[in-house]
């Protein structure tokens, strides 16, 4: 088990989950999928600097080897942007639901989600 394998496989799993969820029919699931997807993307971008243990890119006397700081800066920027985009997507899908009464995104509109029975997503899966 190398770190590289762990990260790569984790990215793969996140991407798979992200794709699957973003292909669901309701905005919430889609947003969820995007969240997973962007986790994966951030990790991927981070990985472009390769993996370094215990070499944080903060200058220290006598230390010459540092983790590649550039991808970290890029990922930081990417995280911020992703956050902004996700926030907008969430609010927009909420707003669209409030306006149209449907949070479907699969084209076949079924308005009237209001008449739904309560459901506390608490217990284990039925």
Partner 1 sequence: MTALHSLADIAISAMIVIGATFALIGSWGMVRLPTLMERLHGPTKATTLGLGGMLVGSILYFHLVEGKWALHELLISLFLFITAPISANMIAKVHLHQLRVKPDVDGLDPVGPAGMPPIPSEDSGWATYEATVQTSPAAVAEM
Partner 2 sequence: MSIASHFAIAPVVIPALAAPFALLVMRRRRWLGVGISFASCAAMLAVALLLLRAASDGTIRTYELGEWPAPFGIVLVVDRLAAIMLTLAATLSLIALLHAVIARSDRKGWHFHPMFQFQLMGLNGAFLTGDLFNLFVFFEVLLIASYGLMLHGQGPARLKAGVQYVIVNIVGSSLFLIALGLLYALTGTLNMADMGLRVAEIPIADQGLLRVAALLLASVFALKAAIVPLHLWLPRTYAVSTPAVAALFAIMTKVGVYAMIRVIPQIFGDDAGAAAWVPAPYLLPAAMLTAIVGFGGVFVARELSEQAAYAVIGSTGTLMIAVAGWQPDTLGAAIYYLVHSTLAGATLFLVADAVARRRASYADRATPGPLFQDRQLVAVLFMGAAIAATGLPPLSGFIGKLLILRSVADVPSWGWAWGTILGTTLIGVIGFARTGSAIFWNETEASARAQLPQVSRADLLAPAIALALLAALSIGAGPVTDYGHAAARQALDSASTARAVLGGH
Partner 3 sequence: MALELTLYTLVFLPFLAALLITTVSARSMAWHSGLAASGSALGLAIVLSLAGRVLDGEVLGISAPWVPALGLDFSLMVDPLGLLFALMILGIGLLVVIFGHFYLAPSEATGRFFASLMLFQGAMLGIAISGNVLLLLVFWELTSLSSFLLIGFWKHKAEARQGARMALAVTGGGGLVLIAGMVLLGSVAGSFDLATILQRADIVQASPLYPVMLILILIGCFTKSAQFPFHFWLPHAMAAPTPVSAYLHSATMVKAGVFLLARFWPVLSGTELYTAIVSSVGLITMLFGAWVALFRHDLKSILAYSTISQLGLLVMLLGFSIKMAAVGAVLHIINHAAFKAALFMSAGIVDHETGTRDIRKLGGLGKVMPVTALVATLAAASMAGLPPLGGFISKEMMLDETLHVGLFGQPWLVPIVATLAAALSVAYSLRFAAHLFFGKPRDAQAHAKAHDPAAGMWGSPAFLVALAVLLGLIPMTLVGPLVTAAASAVLGETAPPLGLALWHGVNPALGMSVVAVAAGTLIVWQHSRVLRAYEGLRHLDAKHLFEQTLSIADKRVRKLIVAIHAPSLQRMLLAAFAVVVLFIAEGAVRGSGSLTGTRAGQPASVMAIVAWGLLIAATVAVVLEHRQRFLVLVYVSVIGLVIALAFVHLSAPDLALTQISVEVVTILLLLLALNLLPKRPPQLSGNGRRLRDAALALLGGFGVGGAAWAMLTRPANNPISGYHVANSYTGGGGTNIVNVTLVDFRGFDTLGEIIVLGIAGLAIYALLDTAARGAAGARLGTWQEDMPHSPERHPMMFVMATRILLPLVLAAGIYIFLRGHNQPGGGFIAALVIAIAFLLQYLASGFDWTDARRKVGEHLLIASGVLVAVATGLGSLVFGANFLTSSFGYFHVPLVGEVELATAMLFDVGVLCVVFGAVMQALAQLSHIAQRAARAHAANLAVRQEDGK
Task: Give the integer Cα–Cα distance in Å for 70 and 2.
Answer: 23
In the list 54, 119, 120, 121, the residue contacting partner 1 (rule: CB under 8 A) is: 120
Q: Do 5 and 42 touch, CB atoms closer than 8 A?
A: no
* Min separation Cβ 73 and Na ion, Å: 7
What's the burial of 7, exposed, middle or buried (CB within 10 Å: 0-12/13-18/19+)?
middle
92 binds, among Na ion, partner 2, partner 1, none (CB under 5 to 8 A by kind): partner 2
Instruction: Please report, as ranges, the residues that interact with partner 2 according to CB under 8 A.
Output: 22, 27, 30-31, 34, 37-38, 41-42, 44-45, 47-50, 70-71, 74, 77-78, 81-82, 84-86, 88-89, 92-93, 95-96, 99-100, 105
7 binds, among partner 1, Na ion, partner 2, none (CB under 5 to 8 A by kind): none
Beta bridge partners of residue 26, listed in sequence order = 104
What's the burial of 124, exposed, middle or buried (CB within 10 Å: 0-12/13-18/19+)?
exposed
118 binds, among partner 2, partner 3, partner 1, none (CB under 5 to 8 A by kind): partner 3
In this structure, the number of other CB atoms found within 10 A of the CB of residue 5 comes to 9
Confirm or reject binding of residue 107 to partner 3 (CB under 8 A).
yes
Confirm or reject binding of residue 62 to partner 3 (CB under 8 A).
no
Confirm or reject binding of residue 70 to Na ion (CB under 5 A).
no
Task: Give the integer Cα–Cα distance in Å for 48 and 44.
Answer: 6
Footprint of partner 1 (CB under 8 A): 120, 122-124, 126
């Amino acid at each position: 088990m190398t770190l590289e394998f762990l990260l790569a496989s984790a990215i793969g799993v996140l991407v798979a989950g992200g794709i699957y969820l973003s292909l669901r029919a309701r905005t919430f699931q889609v947003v969820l999928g995007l969240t997973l997807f962007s986790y994966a993307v951030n990790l991927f971008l981070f990985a472009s600097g390769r993996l370094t243990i215990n070499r944080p890119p903060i200058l220290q006397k006598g230390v010459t080897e540092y983790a590649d700081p550039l991808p970290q800066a890029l990922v930081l920027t990417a995280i911020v942007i992703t956050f902004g985009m996700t926030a907008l997507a969430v609010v927009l899908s909420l707003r669209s639901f409030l306006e149209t009464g449907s949070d479907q995104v699969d084209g076949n509109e079924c308005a009237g989600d209001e008449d739904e029975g309560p459901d506390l997503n608490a217990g284990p899966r039925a």
